[in-house]
Amino acid sequence: MMPVLDAVFHPLEIRMNDGRPLLLRAFDAEDFSALVEMYKGFQPKRVAQGLPPPDVPRIAQWLDRLQTKSRSLLALDGKRVVGHVILCPISDAAVEYTIFVHQDYRCQGVGLAMTRLALQWVSEMGFAEVFLTTELSNVPALSLYRKVGFQTQNSFGDECEMKISVAGGTQTLPRAA
């Protein structure tokens, strides 16, 4: 089955652990400046493979390149972008997964909900596997990824590569909260 990158992600509301709602939807070109703003204030900088970049010109250049070859989901609190999932195809069967949640919204279930919904979307697009790379010292991220079913494939230096099979639409993934 060939992936269908234009599979529609229907916007929906997710709730943080404290009950506050966020809108989760696919990136639109009109979101570009709000996404740059999220990364402008994002901490810590360059935490994952040198990402996010340290300054606005490099942030804008990075995001511009990403949008030409990947799909993204955003979590919005009103008009403020507070979470960003990047899905970058690496083959006809696999996609690379990256997530950034603004520090003011961490430990509120945002990353978990975004990850589960992104995996469902990847499955609907027809991909069979999702890969990610994370820092071994990023214990909260490792916990999140293991919770949704990612398995460690390789460790190298301070990083590990993880994978989950989504079976191109045939596997039932854990439900988003």
pLDDT in tens, 65-104: 988 889 999 999 999 999 999 999 999 999 999 999 999 9
Residue 9 to residue 117: CA distance in whole angstroms: 9
CATH superfamily of 12-169: Gcn5-related N-acetyltransferase (GNAT) (3.40.630.30)
Phi and psi angles of residue 89, each rounded to the nearest 5 degrees, phi first: -60, 135
Q: Which of 58, 57, 68, 74 is nearest to 117 (CA)?
A: 74
pLDDT in tens, 101-155: 999 999 999 999 999 999 999 999 999 999 999 989 889 999 999 999 999 999 9
